[in-house]
Structure 1
Amino acid sequence: MLFSDFCKILDKIEKTTKRLEKTDYFVELIDFIKNSGKPENLKQVSQITIGRVFAEFENKEIGIGPNLLLEAVKTTGIPEKDLKSKIKETGDIGTAVENLSSNIKQVSLFSQALTLEEVYSTLKKLSEIEGNSSQKKKTRIISNLLILADPVESRYISRLILEDMRIGMNIPTILASFSNYFNVNKESIEKIYAVTNDIGLLGEKLISGSDIENDPELKLKVFRPIKPMLAQLTPSIEDAMIETKMPQFETKYDGARVQVHKSNGNVKIYSRRLENITNSVPELVEEIKKLDIDNIILEGECVAMDLDSGKPRPFQDILRRFRRKYNIDKMAEKIALRIYFFDVLYYSRGLIDTPLKTRREILEKLFGTNNWDSELEKIKKEIFSNKMLFSSFKLNSDDPNLVKEFFNWSLSIGHEGIMIKNPDAPYTPGSRVKTMYKVKPTLENLDVVVTRAKIGMGKRKDWYGSYELSVKDNDSNLHVIGNVGSGLTEDDLEKLTKIVNEIKIEDLGEEVILEPKIVLEVTYEEIQTSEKYEMGYALRFPRVVQIREDKSINDINTLDDVKKIYEIERNRK
């Protein structure tokens, strides 16, 4: 398939703001591929359309920032001054390169047109280049690709390199297109995607005529991590109890979500971003290897513990462990980790369609019970033990007063609150469900992405000291909700400034526009209505709690979350 043919349809998709039209254009693209005699192209097309060359579960990126892309573009013959001016004018490197493409060095009239396969394989190779001269090699490869490209191709190649296609396409829209073209139930396709995290594989199977409901490659598999199921906010324990009837309550731990996979004695541990953190937590790996279980996927919360107080250490200590690449054993001596398991998703077969109560029974056979109402003395002893693997603390009750006791006890041992779960519910990967709720004593902190940064004043004049914060809507469009500067230490400012310089895509003088890659957890006094921002809401007195290096733009809060918190707080007043 010629890359130019692909780009023509991408251009159509970009020019419409209507979701149904975008869906129809992608259906047109599927039909073009089907009739071209190269059905395998749907795999590459599906991934590229959302700005990826790797499947989501692989947790790999091309790894090229705006600065390196700019260097590569300059070597094609486009003057740096013109390039920066055009980026400032258009707000997009891809459009700037397209508009200035007449400056790109000409190649032989007999050179072959770029193919989809060529662009796809070239960009995958970029991620593999390492070593002292890696930057030069990457610059040369990108430059050669742009020299061979026509103007529209150069727009999309530049954007794909930064993994941001800017055409308003996302996974749900592609899944809707699959459903329409292949006449398959949309819910079935969404469910299959949720257990594969591989839109390319799903497209490849559909176009080849596979029975996707029964294809073993499209089932939940060990060592192919899935996105976690997410909880809803709830105004009160009583409200959640009404929603879930006879619920299961668990401590909401102050830690980091992990997924543990084990098969044939091999163990891998993944973060909530599906990042493989196995090498950073060797003591946990060894403990899991000792267990007489295999062919299993477990989910839990990894907590950094202060064994003297029996309380969790600061969340940043977990990140220090997860990010550590050297002297890991010394760090393990300083920061003890444990996992509280609360779910089993696979045990020789997929379990996500079975009720939580059944999954919990399996979990307790493996790790024992931790029933708060009947085993509290045992739990108190284990909190101070060197034991690393536990089942989560649990309560089954319809007594609101007992539940409040459990809630307060969970807070007293340093954790965040409680989870409220429907015991009859299945596990729905990657979705915020109405069968699981979280209750915390204070306003829910928000995870937001930084979209702009501004140079600081006074003591902060050498750093970017103020950051524009955004949340996303259901179509993954970003909406500004405020600016923050408080809560950041000098170390934080230094770290953020370094990252900003690597991911800035437009320089406006004292302010820069960024790729949406920095995630901050912020607290605030309240959410208020505001005409200042398009979304209609703003954070009052936001303050940074921490830089969330364990999260990506996929994990940030949504506009719906903001509305929900606003309504909850308004009803409390």
Structure 2
Amino acid sequence: MVLFNAVATLADFLAGEGSRLKKRAAIAEAIAAAEAEDPGGEGSGLFAQYLAGLPFAEADPRKLNAGGALLTKAMLKATGATDAALTAAYRRHGDLGAAAFELMQGVSRAASLSLGEVCAAFGAMATARTTAARAATLDGLLDRGTPAEVKYLVKLMLGDMRIGVKQSLVEEAIAVAAGAEVGAVRHAVMLEADLADATRRAFDGTLGEARMRLFHPLGFMLASPVETPEEAVERFTAKPEKVAKPKKGKKAADEAELDEGVEAAPVSAEARPVEAFLEDKYDGMRAQIHCGDLAEPGRVAIYSRNREDITESFPELEEAFAAVLPDVDGPMILDGEILAWDYKDSRALPFAVLGTRIGRKRVSNEVRTQVPAVFMAFDLLYAKGELQLEHPLRVRRNRLETIVEQMVDRVVSPFAVDEREKGRQQVMFLGEKDAGVARLMLSPSRLVESAEDIDRAYADARARANEGVMLKAADSAYLPGRRGLAWVKLKRELATLDVVITGAEYGHGRRATLLSDYTFAVRGPGGELLNVGKAYSGVTDAEILELTESLKAHTLEDRGHFRTVEPLIVLEVAFNNIMRSGRHASGFALRFPRILRLRTDKPVEEIDTLERVEEVYLSQVDRPVES
């Protein structure tokens, strides 16, 4: 029987160890010990899964439903602390698990909680029908834990272990412990999205028997930003060359870093022609669509970039892709962008429009009609029983075009559905125009030749109210979770704004004791300060320390986590765009604001005005159409 205390003890060691190699060796030793203690059982797999911060396998749709409120109540009961004491402990650590550990220092218990018992408790919490039943299971779990175990149980339930260990490092350690190839371990995890099962396979020698499962999100390949077309050309005329590629076998797993390859230094732009596909960069929601499963015909799942299942927020896409035929089209995974679509003008609507639909549990006919959703496909990850990730983009693109051409006329759904039916919504036909509109589109793509070509394409994309352009190396494989040089995005920022800090709140984690999140304002027509956003990125640790001291000294109202402060500190901020918003008194909100610098040279009297904000807003070609 493998105890959860072994996970907690190792986690504490890893949190204080800086060497990646030493971390991997310690994890491998612990996983091997768990396997020896429970040969052929679930111990080593659960050990690896929990250490990676996963209460359930990624392919497991169950959720603990243990939010901060439920955990806080359970911790107060387990520790006997007051609300004030827990708040103070959290403020010191920025971590509920560490706060629980501090408050339980007087508790002495023998470690007896097994990994199997934790697994059973998590399962019971996920299936509990009431909050009271869930709370009772949680209380029973924490009541048995030692201070160290409670610390990491809470961290695990919150999905944030904070021990400096990524899942990729755990995968490497599994390979070392089992004498397997790390590539085979990672491949099995990618196919089945089950780290515990991959651990079992590694020890059994059955990694090669792993088979792809639909309905769990693969990692999304990401793009790196570039500032100019010339920089993009330079990226694509540099020939990337992988170095330090891991060798096969246990010895290699013991000795090599087994990390991602390192890109070779760029060569001159004249050395190679540009070989990249160019597409518009849409201002939508990145998503994967899984459909056409042979075992579950008609089932559709849509996953966001942060791997959340968002299917219920876009029922018209679920209805449309349910028409994918397993025996004809085959099971598939498409990568693309969900867009709010203007069918009249055949163009994407701004993200501000789509944003009104995100997170909805129920989508009415009114919402479906006013904010129609489409899926703009731009990559093919899985088709007809074969992963496409290792194929060059030009091959994946050709296959995607063929598949879309075959399916596009069938992947349709109406604007309205019969809301009188309970359970699954039924299609309502009110006439020919309601019989269904296309919900699958193919992102236009072409090979690009020069910086001038990219510059023209960028201007054209902005004229279509899109964010910019994407450039993707024609020979690039799809690398889940990677942000490298193979894909780049060209987006030019709008003019920056000079604003003043009007409020500040404490951060999280290592910034829990620092005022690191800043609310800022511009000047209104009567000289009043009107908030337009909040930012926390772009300042250095040293600047945050300095700002914290200054903001504390000039606090007008201390509300605990948030402080209203005197408007003394001017910032220059950049942002993606500006949206109309009722959240702020200004009527506007900056989207994705970033602090560029502290403007110690500028007095508060010279910050930008609401008039300037509106001027920038009106200059946006992708702003929503206003009546």
TM-score for both structures, normalised by structure 1: 0.71
Q: Report the count of equivalent residues.
A: 469
**Aligned letter for 2:480?**
P
C-alpha distance in 1, partners of 2:100/2:62?
A: 26
Pick from 330, 334, 340: which aligns with 2:376?
340
> Which residue in the other structure is 1:541 paired with?
573
Pick from 508, 513, 519: which aligns with 1:485?
519
The answer as to 2:77 corresponding to 1:101 is no
In the TM superposition, residue 278 of structure 1 has moved relative to its aligned partner by 2.5
The answer as to 2:414 corresponding to 1:422 is no
Change (3 A) 1:247 1:166: closer
> Which residue in the other structure is 2:256 paired with?
none
The answer as to 2:150 corresponding to 1:154 is yes
> Which residue in the other structure is 2:30 paired with?
29
Pick from 522, 535, 543: which aligns with 1:532?
543
> Which residue in the other structure is 2:314 paired with?
281
| Contact residue 522 and residue 545 of structure 1 kept, 8 A | no
Which ranges of structure 2 fall in alignment gaps of 5 or more residues? 237-273, 407-435, 523-532, 546-569, 580-591, 597-627
C-alpha distance in 2, partners of 1:529/1:154?
A: 33
> Which residue in the other structure is 2:349 paired with?
313
Write out per-residue CA displacement over residues 13-70 of structure 1, whole angstroms, 9 at most, x where no aligned residue: 2343333322222112112112113442122112211322122344654232333223
Q: Give the secondary structure class of the aligned counterpart of 1:532.
A: helix
Write out per-residue CA displacement over residues 102-159 of structure 1, whole angstroms, 9 at most, x where no aligned residue: 766x99x9xx92211102220232233233xx1x333322222222222322222233
Change (3 A) 1:193 1:74: same
Change (3 A) 1:364 1:444: farther
Pick from 259, 271, 289: which aligns with 2:304?
271
Identity of aligned residues (%): 23
Deviates more, 1:173-182 or 1:328-337: 173-182
Which ranges of structure 1 fall in alignment gaps of 5 or more residues? 370-384, 446-455, 458-464, 489-519, 548-556, 563-573
**Aligned letter for 2:176?**
N
C-alpha distance in 2, partners of 1:258/1:156?
A: 32
> Which residue in the other structure is 2:127 paired with?
128
Deviates more, 1:68-77 or 1:94-103: 94-103
The answer as to 2:198 corresponding to 1:202 is yes
Pick from 487, 490, 497: which aligns with 1:436?
487
Change (3 A) 1:50 1:479: farther
RMSD: 3.9
C-alpha distance in 1, partners of 2:539/2:363?
A: 47
**Aligned letter for 1:360?**
R
| Contact residue 521 and residue 545 of structure 1 kept, 8 A | no
In the TM superposition, residue 521 of structure 1 has moved relative to its aligned partner by 9.4
| Contact residue 74 and residue 135 of structure 2 kept, 8 A | yes
C-alpha distance in 1, partners of 2:193/2:312?
A: 23
Pick from 350, 365, 370: which aligns with 2:402?
365
Pick from 448, 471, 493: which aligns with 1:397?
448
Change (3 A) 1:529 1:9: closer
Q: Give the secondary structure class of the aligned counterpart of 2:309.
A: coil
Q: 1:188-199 counterparts in 2 under 5 A?
A: 188-199=184-195
Structure with a larger share of its residues in helix: 1
The answer as to 2:225 corresponding to 1:233 is yes
C-alpha distance in 2, partners of 1:78/1:478?
A: 23
| Contact residue 420 and residue 436 of structure 1 kept, 8 A | yes
**Aligned letter for 1:36?**
E
> Which residue in the other structure is 1:54 paired with?
56
TM-score for both structures, normalised by structure 2: 0.66
| Contact residue 336 and residue 375 of structure 2 kept, 8 A | yes
In the TM superposition, residue 71 of structure 1 has moved relative to its aligned partner by 1.6
In the TM superposition, residue 425 of structure 1 has moved relative to its aligned partner by 1.4
Write out per-residue CA displacement over residues 252-302 of structure 1, whole angstroms, 9 at most, x where no aligned residue: 111111211222442222222222222332322333344562311111111
Q: Give the secondary structure class of the aligned counterpart of 1:223.
A: coil
> Which residue in the other structure is 2:161 paired with?
165
> Which residue in the other structure is 1:66 paired with?
68
Deviates more, 1:83-92 or 1:478-487: 478-487
> Which residue in the other structure is 2:12 paired with?
11
> Which residue in the other structure is 1:180 paired with?
176
C-alpha distance in 2, partners of 1:188/1:443?
A: 45
In the TM superposition, residue 79 of structure 1 has moved relative to its aligned partner by 3.3
| Contact residue 462 and residue 468 of structure 2 kept, 8 A | yes
- Larger RCO: Structure 1 or Structure 2 (Cα < 8 Å, ≥ 6 residues apart)? 1
In the TM superposition, residue 86 of structure 1 has moved relative to its aligned partner by 4.2
C-alpha distance in 2, partners of 1:478/1:272?
A: 27
Q: Give the secondary structure class of the aligned counterpart of 2:56.
A: coil
Pick from 240, 244, 250: which aligns with 2:279?
250
Q: Give the secondary structure class of the aligned counterpart of 1:54.
A: coil
In the TM superposition, residue 347 of structure 1 has moved relative to its aligned partner by 1.3
Write out per-residue CA displacement over residues 520-553 of structure 1, whole angstroms, 9 at most, x where no aligned residue: 99699xx67784259xxx9843669699xxxxxx
The answer as to 2:216 corresponding to 1:216 is no
Greater Rg by CA: 2
> Which residue in the other structure is 1:355 paired with?
392
C-alpha distance in 2, partners of 1:321/1:403?
A: 33
